[in-house]
Structure 1
Amino acid sequence: MRKTIVTNQGLKIVVMMAMLVVIFAGIKSAADIIVPFILALFLAFVLNPLIVLLEKVRVPRALAVMLVATVVICVMVFLTSTLLVTLNEFARTLPQYRGIIVEKLRQYDAYFPQGELTFTPEQLAGYIDPAATLNLVSKLISYLSNAMAGLFLLLMTVAFMLLEVTQLPYKIEQLSDDPGKGMANVQRALDSVTRYLVIKTLISVVTGLAVWALLAFIGVRFAFLWGMLAFALNYIPNIGSFIAAIPPIIQTFLFNGVSDGIMVTGGYILINVIFGSIIDPKILGRGLGLSTLVVFISLIFWGWLMGPVGMLLSVPLTIVLKIALEPTAAGHKIAILLGDGTPHR
């Protein structure tokens, strides 16, 4: 009898895993359609607290959604246009960089004893291809220009999602066999994801502003570009903030000098320690219920499945997946593997 129960449980887990594989394969094949929808959904999570706040001061929900959407459009248009101007300026200066890089590397070569280095500054500069970087920047400019065209459609989707929020409890009650439990799980997922996204967005904004202020104070070119990069990559757990620091640090050492480079490196370390190692964990705490290893693996998995958007939203997507698996017998075991090992009472 016990053997039969164990076999049935194992079969349920295999079936659950097979279902997940089919679902993920469908997401992968339909990524062009699903990714914008997922992005709109999580943007709605971030904006909904503002709608609720306006409703508390007796602003009708439809008007509140319209006001918030208008503000978001204005902010996005301003930031995107400013970023496009900065990227165009960055692209124009790239062809001039090879000669400057060789000269700077010659200066750094003087710090090493004669004969210690087995390569010349010219050889090292040969590995630097401004044309490849220019091509990457051109693709990014084209992507942002196309994104401006899709911005209105994205925000329209977000607006309709925000208008539908009030009808969500009734729909879940009609679909669920156990309305009370189903709504409780959905509410827990909404609360967890909203809390994470709102807090992470605020921390990312402050991080981007801190980086921009640091670089502008030191006199590093394209400070706005690197601040935007720090804001965007701060959503990527564990490695995003470190990746965002590499280009401006290299640029500062090459074009501003050693002293400025050391100041920028120290500033980035200080910002990452304060926001990434102190404020972020203290505010978010262990309330996410995910292990550190799972967070890192989810970054790789969702990035492979959905591209850059998947990397940015890897943590909330994993939270939703974990909560969705918990109510079922087979899924509960998978949810335990995704968890942080803390017993829940």
Structure 2
Amino acid sequence: MSIESDAGSGVSGRTVSGVLTFVVGAAALTIVLGGVHAVSGIIGPVFLGLVLTVTVHPIRRRLEQTRLPEWAVSCLMLLAAYLLIVLMTLALIVSVAQLASLLPQYTADITTTIEEAVSGLERLGVDQDQIDKVVQAMDPSQLVGLVGSLLSGTLGALTDVFFLFTVLLFMAFDTNGARNNLKVLGSRFDALVTALGHFAIGTRTYMAVAAVFGLIVAVIDGAALYAIGVPGAFVWAVLAFVTNFIPNIGFVIGLVPPAVIALLEDGPRLMLAVIAIYCVVNFVIQSIIQPRIVGESVGLSPTLTFLSLVFWAWLLGPVGALLAVPLSLLMKSLLIEADPRLSWALPLISGRPESSG
């Protein structure tokens, strides 16, 4: 009896210990996430600086093959990163300014559209509470306001110039030292160094492909919208470029505002023309061609990509939505790939079967 009692108490003790460990871990994770959310204004620009540094690193390797000294290579890379930020900031500033001047012109049209929708629902005998919910859901001003929030949030991360430029300055001159340190650590923590290398390659490929295709989409969309007479063509072109970095739902976010403006400007005919253009250009490029080119380098399933978008957007705001894929790649590298015991999870994360070879 005593042996059975001791065995039972041992199992019960391990169960209680496991529950306590889970509770403590969950509490610690909640505190950490709360802290990250509180300092998202710092983490966003820092990670953006890291992504920019990783993205332009191949140019650094080419420059290192010349006779330029190390400090000159670092300065050139820093100038390249600064140029990217300045160009993107100027485009966003112009877009936000044009959007701010464009929206008031459609206040009366938006109000009229909502009033007509309310009258139609009332004639159908719909309850007032249900009408209020429908009006809130279909309010075009909220949909267009989302654009302002996204562009302003992105602009906020870029226009914290002093902090972002300082972060890039240190990263540019620390790149060579960090690379040498990783070589030294490779002999002791080979899995971790390899995982970080996969993160760099995946991030670089994703950002480069997203930028190139985003530019193509922006030029085509902007020219097409200007040709058919949709106001604010430059704003919607910049929005198409920015939303190309947002996985899964970027196409929809980029489509809705110009479609709404087209509806208010010239009725359903112009709106359908905008939808047709975006479906042909954006859907084909963003949903068919671009994912195939990114391919193996990302290693995230569509479901996990969408969930990571929701998570990082909640945690870091608009910048988290734009950098959701690189952030998820970093977490995958640090938490999964760095531990050989968790290699079984990689096929589940990528959504592809493990290769037999």
**Where on the TM-score scale, by shorter chain, does this alignment land: which range?**
0.7 to 0.9
Q: Aligned partners of 2:174 and 2:192: how far apart in 1?
A: 18
Q: 1:107 to 1:55 in 2, by over 3 A?
A: farther
The alignment status of 1:231 with 2:268, answered yes or no, reads no
Q: Which residue of the other structure, out of 248, 272, 275, is the alignment partner of 2:258?
A: 248
Q: Closer, same or farther in 2 for the Cα pair 1:204/1:92, shift >3 Å?
A: closer
Partner Cα separation in structure 2 for residue 193 and residue 141 of structure 1: 24
Secondary structure in structure 2 of the residue aligned to 1:285:
helix
| Alignment of 1:32 onto 2:54 | no
Aligned length: 329
Q: Give the corresponding residue for 2:339.
A: 328
Which of 148, 153, 173 is matched with 1:163 structurally? 173
What are the equivalent positions in structure 2 for 1:46-61 lying under 5 Å apart? Answer: 46-56=55-65, 58-61=67-70
Q: Structure 2: which amino acid aligns with 1:244? A: G
Aligned to 2:349: 338
Kindly report which structure 2 residues correspond to 1:173-322, keeping only aligned pairs within 5 A, or say none: 173-175=183-185, 178-322=188-332
User: CA–CA distance in 2 between the matches of 1:249 and 1:69?
Assistant: 39
Offset of residue 320 of structure 1 = 1.8
Q: What is the deviation of 1:284?
A: 1.0
| Cα distance between partner residues in 2 of 1:275 and 1:168 | 36
- Structure-2 change in CA distance of 1:34 and 1:79 (3 Å): closer
Contact 1:91 1:134 in 2 (8 A): no
Q: CA deviation at 1:200?
A: 1.5
**Matched-pair contact (CA < 8 Å) for 1:91–1:138:** no
Matched residue type, 2:205: R
Describe the shift of the 1:276–1:17 C-alpha distance in structure 2 as closer, same or farther (beyond 3 A).
farther
Match for 1:264: what amino acid?
A: V
The residue type paired with residue 234 of structure 2 is F
CA contact (8 A) 2:144 2:257 kept: no
Counterpart Cα distance in 2 of 1:35 and 1:314: 11
Q: Distance in 2 between matches of 1:164 and 1:231?
A: 30
* Structure 2 contact 49–167 (Cα < 8 Å) conserved: yes
SS for the counterpart of 2:297 is coil
Partner SS state of residue 252, structure 2? helix
State whether residues 102 and 125 of structure 1, in contact with CA within 8 Å, keep that contact through their aligned partners in structure 2.
no
| C-alpha distance 152-66 of structure 1, shift in aligned 2 (>3 A) | farther
Q: Which amino acid is the alignment partner of residue 27 of structure 1?
A: V
Distance (whole Å) between structure 1 residues aligned to residue 88 and residue 180 of structure 2: 38
Instruction: Measure how far apart 1:298 and its partner are.
Output: 0.7
Q: Tell me the CA shift for residue 77 of structure 1.
A: 3.9
1:42 aligns with 51
How far did residue 135 of structure 1 move? 11
Structure 2 CA distance for aligned equivalents of residues 342 and 143 of structure 1: 36
Alpha-carbon distance in structure 2 between the residues aligned to 1:146 and 1:311? 12
Please tell me the root mean square deviation across aligned C-alpha atoms, in Å. 4.2
Structure 1: gaps spanning 5 or more residues: none
Q: Retained in 2: the 8 A contact 1:189–1:323?
A: yes
Q: In the aligned structure 1, how far is the partner of 2:287 from the partner of 2:208?
A: 18
Stretches of structure 2 that go unaligned for 5 or more consecutive residues are 1-10
1:275 deviation in Å?
0.8
C-alpha separation between the residues in 1 aligned to 2:202 and 2:150? Answer: 35
Normalized against structure 2, the TM-score is what?
Answer: 0.74
Larger mean CA deviation between 97-106 and 259-268 belongs to 97-106
Cα drift, residue 50 of structure 1? 2.9
How far has the Cα of 1:152 moved from its partner? Answer: 4.1
Q: Provide the residue aligned with 1:84 in structure 2.
A: 93
Is residue 95–residue 130 contact of structure 1 (8 Å, CA) maintained in 2?
no
Alpha-carbon separation, structure 2, partners of 1:276 and 1:139:
19
Matches within 5 A, 1:51-200: 51-56=60-65, 58-70=67-79, 72-74=81-83, 76-77=85-86, 79-81=88-90, 83-101=92-110, 137=148, 144=155, 147-148=158-159, 150-175=160-185, 178-200=188-210
- TM-superposed CA distance for 1:94, in Å, is 3.3
In the alignment, what sits opposite 2:6? none
Q: String of CA shifts for 1:127-178, please: whole Å, max 9, x gaps.
A: 8586997899599669847953x22431332233133222223323555672
Separation in 2 of the partners of 1:291 and 1:134? 31
